[in-house]
Structure 1
Amino acid sequence: MLTDVACRKAVAREKPYKLSDANGLYLYVLPSGFKSWRWKYRIGGKEKRLVFGGYPEVTLSKARALREEAARSLREGSDPAASKRQRAAEQTAMAGNTFETIAREWHASQKAGWSERYASIVLNSFVNDVFPRLGKLPITAVTTPLVLEVLRPIEARGAVETAHRVRQRISEVFARAIAAGIAQADPSAVTKRALGRKTKGKFPAARTIKLAQAVLAGSERQPGHPLTKLASRLLALTAVRSATLRLAEKHEFEDLDGAEPIWRVPATKMKLGVERKQDAAFEFLVPLSRQAVETVKVAIAFSGAGNPGLVFRSVRNSRKPISDSTLSKATARRVSPGCMCRTAGGRPSRP
């Protein structure tokens, strides 16, 4: 049997040679001086060889232990070489199955049913809050405490509802991994009860005609750009979503000088699923009052011919719509300081 001293003193020769140990184990020495442990065995009447690794990284005692393990597998009817290849494949697969890899696969599989904006929001939540802590870990190495390490900082900055949404998305990623046989359980499931409760705000509304008139009158008295004030006025007169109003185009308004003026909002601008956005049957018709018609006409005239059709263009760039923040600020000024009311546009306005 070999000794460690004999292994260390084995020098390179012109041709490869073996230093035998016992039970088919030997040290194989190449002309380059590289030494590796190999084991000769027979299965199904055929002679085969299994490489255990290089020396001295794999010591003599370790090589013998590996030989015994392989011999035990052989006695149980398994080919040690095939078992080694399977383990190597599993390790390679596991290395590729990081949390980030599975999360991006899940995102890619879902985004076809989402709007481009929402898909971007979901991916950014992973990139900013999840991947820095969990991204490079094998998905099977992610534990409940590690998930909490992701969620606690989100919760600490006051975004409790966001923390719950991120937890739900992490859970969806694990559902995909479990279905593929990569993971066995969802460590994020129990964290739902560890997070704070989502607070539901109460926003007092102007629920009488008198209060609503006061809010709108206050808005009209506030200084501001004419297009911003017109947009705010039309929002109150139609109660559409602010995004719908900001992106309104001239061709959407029909029969402004007729008996039945309408605003035909394309399905693509509605808050719908991707499939319904492509279906013209889901376009939305907004009947226009006399006051709404007058507001639209003035806004179209004021926006000028220098824009591609936007009714409420940006003051700084005629080819872009008025910004959401500009409209929100105008809405916020509808009420007196210290009050919070729902305006005709449906959003709570904050001073």
Structure 2
Amino acid sequence: MAANTGKLTAVAIKNAKAGAKPVRLFDGGGLYMELMPNGSRYWRMKYRYAGKEKRLAFGVFPEVSLAAARQRRDEARGVIRNGEDPSAKRQAERRLARLSNATIFQAIAQEWLEKQSKKLAPVTYRKSEWLLGMASDDLGRRPIAEISSPEMLAVLRRIESTGRHETAYRVKQKASQVFRYAIATGRAERDPTIDLRGALAPVVSRPRAALTSPNDVAGLLRATYGYEGQPTTAAALKLGPLLFARPGNLRAMEWSELNLNEAEWRIPGGKMKMREEHVVPLAPQAVAILRDLEPITGRNRFVFPSIRTPDRSMSENTINAALRRLGYDKDTMTGHGFRALASTRLNEMGWAPDVIERQLAHAERNKVRAVYNRAQYMAERKKMMTAWADYLDRLRTGHEKVVEFKKR
């Protein structure tokens, strides 16, 4: 049963009587005391994260006072406001505390990951965690200074045997970073992955599937405008070629990042691969699509919320699944392929490569040039994005001659 909600007092706690079933005495902000039939008093907090109701345990009264329980509640709510799950954060802190002084591979890998967490995008962090987990399956409890090159090779060969050659290479790269970190912190003397150069099967790189010829692009655009699924998915399909942002950035677009009056989408650095804020100028066509969508999802955090819960963005498979529904298989077109489509066509239309690369948010490969070349090319990018949107409209409606590529 649940007691009346309200601020608890020491007197109310003292006078509370145990019953045949647990009794909940609520304090507000999710904090409550659970009075058990045997008289024990436990502090709990309920909260919602990613659309799910969860609970935290704060200890037993009177060892944990009312004031201490409220302080822990406020700290947990602060974690939630920062977009984190306090329960998961607590588990990670406990795990790191247990392993912080250890010398086993799993401990040092976790320690290295925690130190990288502030500069890695969440998706990159999870990918790194997954890759190192594959190495930890076999090496996790081994002292890192004792791991040999043959041991490391055995781990990578096991991954290779499942046909995941590229994954094996990536596990090797991540493990090497952990070994180098162990060397720097005095817990290992060498990186055993250095001796494995040439020991793995070569990876045959495959370009991401994308349509680039004007005729094919015209057909794709007409197909996307004929999509009859969810309105949010239909809008995302239309914006994909217009904005040619990374799929993860597009589906995680938030209304707070948009200024439709100024026709700008500012993606925070924390979401970007290079950890720098990226501005996407919005052509009138893009603004119109977003204004049409605003009455549908404008009250949500995400422009493209999940159909299951508005607290999360649409899944990473939504756009690709919609393309499959339109008849484009994974070897023909993908959500990421909109970037290759735009890059190819814009280069052929004569736009400056630096402007295109900056709009794609690609890192400058020449490190020396990157130091000096900090230009944003914003004026040129605005012109290019508007011209690009007009070009796509002409292709879709059949008013663009597919052989007409005038150099600027």
Q: TM-score range by the shorter chain?
A: 0.5 to 0.7
Determine the structure 1 residue equivalent to 2:323.
Answer: 331
Instruction: Describe the SS at the equivalent of 2:266.
Output: strand
Of residues 236, 261, 265 in structure 2, which corresponds to 1:263? 265
Q: Aligned partner of 2:312: which letter?
A: K
Per the alignment, residue 287 of structure 1 pairs with: 282
CA distance in 1, matches of 2:106, 2:330: 45
In the TM superposition, residue 109 of structure 1 has moved relative to its aligned partner by 3.6
Q: Which residue of 2 aligns with 1:185?
A: 190
Distance in 2, matches of 1:117 and 1:205, equals 23
Aligned match for 1:206, one of 188, 211, 218: 211
Distance 2:270 2:188 in 1: 39
CA offset at residue 261 of structure 1? Answer: 2.7
Residue 223 in 1 paired to residue 223 in 2?
no
CA drift at 1:148: 1.4
- Using the size of structure 1 for normalisation, the TM-score is 0.60
Specify which of 101, 105, 111 is matched with residue 105 of structure 1.
111
**Partners of 2:209 and 2:332 within 8 A in 1:** yes
Alignment check: 8 A CA contact 2:209 2:330 kept: no
Per the alignment, do residues 237 and 140 of structure 1 end up closer, same or farther by CA in structure 2, a change over 3 Å counting? closer
Q: 1:244 to 1:196 in 2, by over 3 A?
A: same
* Aligned-residue offset at 1:163: 0.8
Tell me how large the CA RMSD over aligned residues is: 2.9
User: Among the aligned pairs, what percent are the same residue?
Assistant: 29
> Which amino acid in the other structure matches residue 284 of structure 1?
V
CA contact (8 A) 1:206 1:212 kept: yes
Match in the other structure for 1:13: none
Tell me how far apart the structure 2 counterparts of residues 251 and 178 of structure 1 sit (CA, whole Å): 43
How far is the alpha carbon of 1:198 from its aligned partner?
Answer: 1.5
Match of 2:35 in 1: none
Letter in 1 for 2:248: A
Report the alpha carbon displacement of residue 195 of structure 1 after superposing the two structures with TM: 0.6
CA distance in 1, matches of 2:174, 2:210: 33
Whether 2:121 is the aligned partner of 1:115: answer yes
CA-CA distance at 1:152 after TM superposition: 1.2
Question: How big is the shift at 1:229?
Answer: 0.7
Higher-Rg structure is: 1
Q: How far is the alpha carbon of 1:203 from its aligned partner?
A: 4.6
2:338 to 329, 342, 345: 345
SS at 1:235 equivalent: helix
Q: How does 1:1-351 map to 2 (within 5 A)?
A: 96-127=102-133, 129-203=134-208, 205-256=210-261, 261-273=263-275, 276=276, 282-289=277-284, 291-303=285-297, 305=299, 307=300, 309-337=301-329, 340-341=332-333, 345-346=338-339
Number of residue equivalences: 240
Q: Residues 82-113 of structure 1, C-alpha deviation per residue, up to 9 Å, x if partnerless? A: xxxxxxxxxxxxx9532333333333343333
TM-score, normalised on structure 2? 0.52
Structure 1 residue 202: deviation in Å?
Answer: 3.5
Cα 1:252–1:288 change in 2 (3 A) is farther
Identify unmatched segments of 5+ residues in structure 1.
1-94, 277-281
Question: Is the CA contact 2:210–2:340 (under 8 Å) kept in the aligned structure 1?
Answer: no
Q: CA deviation at 1:182?
A: 4.1
User: For residue 297 of structure 1, what is the amino acid of its counterpart?
Assistant: R
Q: In 1, are the aligned partners of 2:251 and 2:315 still within 8 Å (CA)?
A: yes
Residue pair 2:323, 2:329 contacting (<8 A) in 1 also: no
* Kept after mapping to 2: 8 A contact 1:219/1:333: no
1:336–1:267: structure 2 CA closer, same or farther, 3 Å change rule?
A: closer
Residues 149, 193 of structure 2: 8 Å contact kept: yes
Report the residue type matching 1:272 in the other structure. M
- Deviation at residue 233 of structure 1 after TM alignment: 0.6
Q: For residue 167 of structure 1, report the CA deviation from its aligned partner.
A: 1.0
Q: 1:334 to 1:112 in 2, by over 3 A?
A: same
Kept in 2, the 8 Å contact 1:299–1:312? The answer is no
Query: Counterparts of 1:151 and 1:295 in 2: how far apart (Å)?
Result: 47
* Distance in structure 2 (CA, Å) of the matches to 1:328 and 1:198: 24
Distance 1:337 1:163, change over 3 A: closer
State how far apart, in whole Å, the 2-side matches of 1:329 and 1:138 are. 44
| Contact kept in structure 1, 2:235 and 2:289, CA below 8 Å | yes
Shift in CA distance, 284/153, structure 1 to aligned 2, threshold 3 Å: same
Report the CA distance shift for 1:268/1:130 in structure 2 as closer, same or farther (over 3 A): closer
Whichever residue aligns with residue 241 of structure 1, its letter is R
Structure 2 unaligned runs (5+)?
1-100, 342-408
The one-letter code matched in structure 2 to 1:315 is I
Q: CA deviation at 1:180?
A: 4.5
